[in-house]
């Protein structure tokens, strides 16, 4: 038999070449049938849609038909025919079926409607389900949209290091990187670990943000963005935190905080619009199965301006709500960091729109943010989204060497790790701004999924690094 070149199911389903002999390969989703004919729903990951393979029972060995079980991998030759009432335009009238891989009843994705918790325990196999197929096709599309957006807007993709000696966010949530023998750690007279014989000759960690190096890029190339893995050893077991996540960090010379807000809003709308334009089938599925308001919410974000207000105004609204009887788990007052419940109150209940909150107290924000004239607040901006809370965090940067130095000393940040960063302020300093978008938080928003562990293929969280 002559070998036919494989057609992806997405193309087969769109084809109108009725009568043509084609080959498809994929995994069995379901098989049902009668004494005379079997219907096999085959999926190859190219689309959420299955192709219906029709197999006349008397044309195939019993031996072959018996192996067509849920999860088995098949190669099918057949004639593409117009379909009557299968929900698709076409189906495949099978002429030859080869079993590439059998699949027994212990296949963990056998049953429909398993819980997400169950799926996480089988994260290596959950990729083959409708939901995770949809999520990861959308995830790919969002990565493409991000690169396209920045490329089209004159930003350069800039690679910042993953191993670093500085703590950008100053939150002390870093994973250490060492080749030292942990059974035989040398300490100096003060009891401090001596890193001089470690691989890099100093203490190093996995990066929590590429921003500091990104600022060096922006103050040379004008506008850059990073898009890479980011690590935080924060012990937060929430549906919105990962220990390993991906972050996109644009940084732009000569931008002030208003330019920065315009960029953030335009950028995120572009990404959501991209999903609506390019992921229609997957979004429709998620809208039906996961979150009935998903499409409505995506359209709403694209079509409406984000509300912009200061942290101080935000606190006033929250305090007013408390006065009127609204209960929050965490106390709210000027100076407090906002919890997700506060952020979501502003977005979902008060404004009913995405919100950009600016000018936070300096005490709850990172050292590099530009100090306002009041001496108390900094030019920070957090973008808050429905269902998510904070999706973007950014700021105008402190460009004055003296003010930045003062802040570094105030916070006791070790200078020896920062000299190269301070050189941006010594040699031709300039106003500049940037922000960080948590990639998985964007995917949460765009897919309507509820848990961040379900929008990254292999999640890393406290006490969990399987697969
Ligand atoms: O607000 P963050 O900590 O800001 C920064 O890291 C800045 N250096 C960004 C910049 O200005 N260039 O983090 C930025 C975003 C958050 O808004 C959130 O979306 C995401 O990163 N994020 C996380 N996502 C998943 N898991 C975690 N543990 C996250 N921590 C932050
Ligand atoms: Mg933040």
- Residues 135-187: pLDDT tens digits? 999 999 999 999 999 999 999 999 999 999 988 888 779 999 999 999 989 88
Query: What is d(CA 24, CA 15) in angstroms, rounded to the nearest whole number?
Result: 13
Q: DSSP state, 193?
A: B
The protein residues having their C-beta less than 5 angstroms from ligand 2 (an ion) are 393
Closest ligand relative to 240 C-alpha:
1
Question: What is the helix (H) or strand (E) element at residue 75, kind and residue range?
Answer: strand 73-82
The protein residue with its alpha carbon nearest to ligand 1, atom 22, reads 438
Which pLDDT score, from 0 to 100, does residue 452 have? 98
For residue range 352-364, what is the model confidence (pLDDT) as tens digits? 999 999 999 999 9
| Cβ contacts of 265 within 8 Å, gap of 6 or more | 305, 306, 354, 356, 383
Which pLDDT score, from 0 to 100, does residue 443 have? 98
For residue range 331-380, what is the model confidence (pLDDT) as tens digits? 999 999 999 999 999 999 999 999 999 999 999 999 999 999 999 999 99
For the chain, what is the mean pLDDT?
95
pLDDT surpasses 70 at 427: yes
- Please give the number of the atom of ligand 1 that sits closest to the Cα of 171: 3
pLDDT surpasses 80 at 85: no
Ligand 2 centroid – CA 415 distance (Å): 23
Query: What percent of the chain has pLDDT above 70?
Result: 99
The protein residue with its alpha carbon nearest to ligand 1, atom 28, reads 241
Ligand 2 centroid – CA 76 distance (Å): 51
**Whose CA is closest to 283, among 272, 271, 275?**
275
- Please give the number of the atom of ligand 1 that sits closest to the Cα of 211: 12
pLDDT surpasses 70 at 271: yes
pLDDT surpasses 80 at 87: no
Work out the average pLDDT over 80-106: 92
Work out the average pLDDT over 220-227: 98
The protein residue with its alpha carbon nearest to ligand 1, atom 4, reads 393
φ, ψ dihedrals at 194, nearest 5°: -95, 110
Ligand 1 centroid – CA 66 distance (Å): 51
Ligand 1 centroid – CA 410 distance (Å): 23
For residue range 177-206, what is the model confidence (pLDDT) as tens digits? 999 999 989 888 899 999 999 999 999 999
* 17 in Cβ contact with 80 (< 8 Å): yes
Ligand 1 centroid – CA 438 distance (Å): 6
Query: What percent of the chain has pLDDT above 90?
Result: 91
The protein residue with its alpha carbon nearest to ligand 1, atom 2, reads 393
* DSSP β-ladder status, 307-310 and 355-361: parallel
Q: How confident is the model at residue 235 (pLDDT cuts 50, 70, 90)?
A: confident
Work out the average pLDDT over 448-457: 98
Query: What is d(CA 411, CA 382) in angstroms, rounded to the nearest whole number?
Result: 22
How far lies 13's CA from each of 6, 121, 161, in Å?
13, 33, 43
Work out the average pLDDT over 251-275: 98
Q: Mutate which of 169, 175, 247 to test ligand 1's pocket (most atoms within 8 Å of Cβ)?
A: 247
Going through 202-339 in order, the beta strands assigned E by DSSP cover 204-206, 223-231, 244-253, 307-310
Ligand 1 centroid – CA 107 distance (Å): 37
- Please give the number of the atom of ligand 1 that sits closest to the Cα of 234: 28
Which pLDDT score, from 0 to 100, does residue 45 have? 98
Q: How confident is the model at residue 415 (pLDDT cuts 50, 70, 90)?
A: confident
Query: What is d(CA 171, CA 153) in angstroms, rounded to the nearest whole number?
Result: 32
Q: Mutate which of 235, 259, 379, 393 to test ligand 1's pocket (most atoms within 8 Å of Cβ)?
A: 393
The protein residue with its alpha carbon nearest to ligand 1, atom 25, reads 241
Closest ligand relative to 369 C-alpha:
1
pLDDT surpasses 90 at 417: no
Secondary structure (DSSP) of 339-405: PHHHHHIIIIIIISS-EEEEEEEGGGS-TTBPBPTTSSEEEEEEEEETTTEEEEEEEEB---HHHHH
Give the predicted TM-score (pTM) of the model: 0.96
Q: Which residues line ligand 1 (CB under 6 A)?
A: 168-169, 209, 211, 232, 234, 241-242, 245, 247, 249, 390-395, 434-436, 438, 440-441
Which pLDDT score, from 0 to 100, does residue 1 have? 58
**Whose CA is closest to 165, among 204, 118, 191?**
204
β-bridge mates for residue 101, sequence order: 73
Which pLDDT score, from 0 to 100, does residue 86 have? 65
Closest ligand relative to 392 C-alpha:
1
């Amino acid at each position: 038999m002559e070998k036919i070149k494989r057609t992806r199911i997405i193309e087969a389903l769109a084809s109108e070449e009725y009568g043509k002999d084609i080959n498809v390969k994929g995994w069995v989703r379901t098989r049902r049938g009668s004494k005379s004919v079997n219907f096999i729903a085959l999926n190859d990951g190219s689309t959420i849609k299955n192709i219906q393979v029709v197999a006349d029972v008397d044309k195939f060995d019993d031996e072959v038909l018996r192996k067509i079980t849920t999860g088995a991998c098949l190669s099918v030759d057949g004639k593409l025919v117009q379909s009557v009432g299968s929900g698709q335009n076409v189906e495949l009238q099978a002429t030859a079926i080869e079993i590439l891989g059998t699949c027994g009843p212990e296949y963990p994705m056998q049953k429909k409607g398993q819980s997400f918790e169950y799926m996480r325990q089988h994260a290596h196999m959950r990729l083959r389900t409708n939901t995770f197929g949809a999520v990861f096709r959308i995830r790919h599309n969002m990565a493409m949209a991000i690169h396209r957006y920045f490329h089209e807007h004159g930003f350069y993709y800039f690679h910042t290091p993953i191993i670093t000696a500085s703590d950008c966010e100053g939150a002390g949530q870093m994973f250490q990187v060492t080749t030292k023998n942990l059974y035989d750690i040398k300490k100096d007279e003060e009891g401090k670990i001596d890193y001089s014989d470690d691989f890099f000759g100093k203490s190093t960690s996995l990066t929590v943000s590429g921003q500091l190096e990104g600022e060096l890029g922006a103050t040379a190339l004008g506008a850059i963005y990073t898009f890479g893995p980011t690590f935080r050893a924060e012990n937060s077991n929430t549906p919105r935190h990962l220990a390993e996540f991906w972050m996109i960090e644009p940084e732009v010379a000569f931008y002030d905080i208003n330019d920065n807000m315009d960029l953030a809003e335009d950028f995120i709308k572009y990404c959501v619009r991209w999903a609506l334009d390019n992921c229609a089938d997957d979004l429709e599925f998620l809208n039906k199965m996961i979150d009935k308001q998903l499409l409505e919410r995506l359209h709403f974000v694209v079509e409406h301006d984000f509300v912009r207000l200061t942290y101080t105004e935000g606190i006033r609204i929250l305090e007013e709500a408390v006065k009127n009887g609204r209960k929050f788990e965490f106390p709210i007052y000027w100076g407090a960091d906002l919890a997700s419940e506060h952020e979501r109150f502003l977005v979902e209940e008060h404004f009913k729109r995405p919100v950009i909150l600016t000018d936070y107290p300096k005490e709850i924000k990172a050292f590099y943010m530009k100090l306002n004239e009041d001496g108390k607040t900094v030019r920070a901006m957090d973008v808050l989204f429905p269902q998510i809370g904070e999706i973007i965090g950014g700021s105008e940067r402190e460009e004055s060497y003296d003010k930045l130095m003062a802040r570094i000393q105030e916070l006791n940040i070790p200078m020896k790790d920062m000299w190269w960063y301070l050189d941006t302020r010594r040699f031709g300093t300039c106003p500049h701004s940037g922000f960080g978008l948590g990639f998985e938080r964007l995917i949460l928003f765009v897919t309507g999924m509820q848990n961040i562990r379900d929008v990254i293929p292999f999640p890393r969280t406290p006490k969990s690094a399987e697969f």
